[in-house]
Chain A
Amino acid sequence: QVQLQESGPGLVKPSQTLSLTCTVSGGSISSGGYYWSWIRQHPGKGLEWIGYIYYSGSTYYNPSLKSRVTISVDTSKNQFSLKLSSVTAADTAVYYCARESYGLYYFDYWGQGTLVTVSS
């Protein structure tokens, strides 16, 4: 059973960079076949796809966030990470990591989510 767990600071100051890590257990990122994704949910709002990465390092980003987002992978630790730069209060959200099968376009496993608040 694949499990994903987000970790990182719950509070980030405006203009700084938000950094989160997702640790995958029960499966190996380097085995391929999956996109490893970041999705966020603003308080009381809907879901927003941020982007995903393949084990090879290929990345795909939401065009609306692309200029501020970097997703990276560390296969040795079975982790992938999100960096979102120049954050504002509008980036306050619950951030989820999730898995999507390559070429299948649905998210079958999700982390529990972590709330990140942007505030001074």
Chain B
Amino acid sequence: QSALTQPRSVSGSPGQSVTISCTGTSSDVGGYNYVSWYQQHPGKAPKLMIYDVSKRPSGVPDRFSGSKSGNTASLTISGLQAEDEADYYCCSYAGSYTLEVFGGGTKLTVL
């Protein structure tokens, strides 16, 4: 069982928007602004998409955005494209003992 809870799957049609949630506790997601999101295509390594809740690394399209409210972080992908179909994982800093915790992952299907 992963420390952070994500929906197993979400789907959307091209051009639509989808939001993936990541629920933790006040000891991780709610306690720090250190939530990151990773995209993973089959057989590939994860790729950083969002860090510090809402910041985008260079090269990541602005269709990807992140936010947080309380103990739940969210990744929103607008203007869905076929290449966005992948697994998405959230990760949060969880304090000086546990340090890093991941979510169980969400499979995004572009219909």
Alpha-carbon distance A45/B93, docked complex (angstroms)? 20
Q: Which of B11-19, B71-79, B99-107 forms contacts with chain A?
A: B99-107
- Knowing A48-B102, A62-B99, A63-B97 touch, does A107 contact B89 (C-beta < 8 A)? no
- List the A side residues contacting B45 at CB < 8 Å: 96, 110-113
A11 within 8 A of B: no
Number of B positions contacting A (CB below 8 A): 25
**Distance between B17 CB and nearest chain A CB, rounded to angstroms:** 24
CA distance A17 to B98 in the complex (A): 24
B contact residues around A90 at 8 Å (CB): none
Name the A residues within 8 Å of B93 (CB-CB).
105
Q: Does chain A have a CB within 8 A of B2?
A: yes
Contact of B100 among A46, A105, A110, A111 (CB under 8 A): A105
Some 21 contacts from A to B, beta carbons below 8 A apart, are A46-B89, A47-B46, A47-B89, A47-B102, A48-B102, A49-B101, A49-B102, A63-B98, A104-B34, A105-B36, A106-B34, A106-B52, A106-B91, A107-B46, A107-B48, A107-B91, A108-B57, A110-B46, A110-B47, A111-B45, A112-B44
**A residues whose Cβ falls under 8 Å from a Cβ of B:** 45-49, 60, 62-63, 96, 104-108, 110-113
List residues of chain B with CB under 8 Å of any chain A CB: 2, 32, 34, 36, 38, 44-48, 51-52, 57, 89, 91, 93, 97-105
